[in-house]
Amino acid sequence: MTDPQHGKHVHAALAGDAEALSMLWRDHRRWVAAVLLAHMPNGSDLEDLLQDVAVTFCRNLRKLRDPGSFRAWLRAIAVNAARSAGRRRAVQQRVLVPLPEFVDAADPAPARAEHQRTTAERLERVLAILSSMQPDYREPMWLRAVQGLTQQQIAEALGLPVTTVETRLARGRRMLRQAMAPPPQSVGTPCRQKPGY
Amino acid sequence: MEVNRETILISKVVDRCETPAEWSELDTLAGNDSALWSRLRTMLRDDADLRAAVASAVAVADAVAVVPPLPVARVPWWSLGGWMAAAALAVLWLAGAPLPSTGTSPGGMSPGNGRAEFQAADPADDGHGREQRTALGELPPVLVRSQPTEDGSALRVVTMRRILEETVVRQVFQVDEDESGELRPVQVELARFAQPSDY
């Protein structure tokens, strides 16, 4: 996603170009999903919330005053949708996201199946650790990972100085590493390490 | 949690946004602690895992599309008086009283007993009575549902269309109560709507 192209789409969509509107959404829907995942309570339906944001995005884009603040505006819609979901639903702890592409019980090659299983477990663990972080660290981590936004672009979307985003990403990565690291003594029953933050 | 300079520099390298000066600084730090490269490698691997996990988690977004709103026919404010007749018609229609025009309404909707019903269009209907109906425009459709097709090559989108339509009527009714409290249609003099109006 290059910025000149992004700006062009925003202006065209504001002028009523339906194709630009669709393209703008396609460019940002994974990004919106990341914002929702960073803010929505466990147990919420991500697809439902995406639908809500999509409808609000279409209805309210013409109210956007400053095209330069498009990402911040879209993020605010997503955060509001996630918070509304939090008010509507009882928070229920559960496994975050199934990873079907890594779980293939019918795989005839045991070694490959084992590799996929451990990969799936590792990725699920990454998501679990990510969701257990404080929102200040969680959201920049989601946004950095989802679409390759630069630190500058993340800073603009979050309304923060770049140096703050830089520090939060570094801390978030440190937290992730510490939580992913194997426990010091691995004798006996494998323990589930709880992130220490 | 305190974060040291090394972590900041490694994080910037992972994000590929380090400056030449920062790279030199990292190189200097590694001169005193060669394990730094190992820590960089580990963090790069964590980043790859993070991206893969996040990509999997947000993939559902690809199934959610927007339906751009269609141009809306604007209704001038001075025409709002005409809505009185339209409202009276709507009440009349929902109450199941006879409509002033004949034949099935466009879109397959027809009056029912107290509620709207959807009916298949009558194949024998020659369109008589429709000449006075004019579509003025369409309000933005309401997105009801979207989901990928079975083979994943397209999206199946369900929307609800809302059409503004103009109809010329010669008789207008309103619902009134008779002596026994029963609802019944009562014809209204058109002179009541004599003010200038688009409807």
Q: Is the pLDDT of residue A136 over 60?
A: yes
ipTM at complex level: 0.71
**Pair of tokens at residue B29:** 């730090």
SS (H, E, C) B38-91: HHHHHHHHHHHHHHHHHHHHHHHHHHCCCCCCCCCCCCCHHHCCHHHHHHHHHH
**CA-based nearest residue in chain B for residue A120:** B53
pLDDT tens-digit map of B68-82: 665 544 444 444 445
Is 60 exceeded by the pLDDT of residue B96? Answer: no
Largest CA distance in chain A: 65
Distance CA B167, CA B185 (A): 19
The amino acid occupying position A94 is R
Q: Do A37 and B7 touch (CB under 8 A)?
A: no
The pLDDT score that the predictor gives to residue A95 is 40
Q: What is the pTM of this model?
A: 0.56
| A5 Cβ under 8 Å from any chain B Cβ | no
How far is A67 from chain B, CA to nearest CA, in Å?
Answer: 18
Instruction: For chain A, say whether B120 makes contact (Cβ under 8 Å).
Output: no
SS3 state at B180: coil
pLDDT at A32 over 90: yes
Contact flag A58-B10 (C-beta cutoff 8 Å): no
Q: Using a CB–CB cutoff of 8 Å, tell me whether A144 touches chain B.
A: yes
Mean pLDDT of B111-118: 37
Q: Note the pLDDT of residue A50.
A: 92
Residue of A nearest to B53 (CA): A123
Asked whether residue A14 carries a pLDDT value surpassing 70, the answer given is yes
Report CB contact under 8 Å: B42, A18.
Answer: no
* Rounded mean pLDDT, B138-143: 79
Q: What is the DSSP letter of B9?
A: H
- According to the per-residue pLDDT averaged within each range, which of A35-49, A158-172, A178-192, B135-149 is highest? A158-172
Average pLDDT over residues B107-118: 38
Average pLDDT estimate for A159-186 = 87
- What pLDDT does residue B161 have? 81
The 3-class SS string of chain A reads: CCHHHHHHHHHHHHCCCHHHHHHHHHHHHHHHHHHHHHHCCCCCCHHHHHHHHHHHHHHHHHHCCCHHHHHHHHHHHHHHHHHHHHHHCCCCCCCCCCCHHHCCCCCCCHHHHHHHHHHHHHHHHHHHHHHHCCHHHHHHHHHHHHHCCCHHHHHHHHCCCHHHHHHHHHHHHHHHHHHHCCCCCCCCCCCCCCCCC
Mean per-residue pLDDT, B169-192: 74
Q: Using CA atoms of A134, A135, A140, A141 in order, give the dihedral in degrees to the nearest 10.
A: 50
- Confidence band (pLDDT; 50, 70, 90) for A107? low
B1 pLDDT band, cuts 50/70/90, is low
Q: What is the pLDDT of residues A111-129, one digit of tens each?
A: 677 777 788 888 889 999 9
Among A25-34, A88-97, B165-174, which stretch is predicted with the lowest mean pLDDT? A88-97
Q: Which residue has the higher pLDDT, B39 or B131?
A: B39
Task: Report the mean per-residue pLDDT for chain B.
Answer: 71
Out of B14, B57, B64, closest to residue A97 by CB: B57
Mean pLDDT, chain A, whole residue set: 80
pLDDT at A117: 75
* B9-54 confidence digits (pLDDT tens): 999 999 888 999 999 999 999 999 989 999 999 999 999 999 999 9
Q: What is the pLDDT of residue A72?
A: 92
- Higher pLDDT pick, A6 / A178: A178
Q: What angle do CA A79, A86, A27 make, to 5 degrees?
A: 30
Residue-wise pLDDT for A54-102, tens only, equals 989 988 888 888 888 899 999 999 999 998 887 766 444 444 444 445 4
Give the side-chain half-sphere CA count within 13 A for A52: 18
What's the whole-number mean pLDDT along residues B115-134? 46
| Mean of pLDDT values over B153-160 | 83
Chain A CB contacts of B49 below 8 Å: 122-123, 126, 180
40-59 in chain B: CB under 8 A from chain A: 42-43, 46-47, 49-59
pLDDT-derived band at B127 (thresholds 50, 70, 90) equals very low
Q: What is the pLDDT of residue B182?
A: 73
Report CB contact under 8 Å: B66, A22.
yes
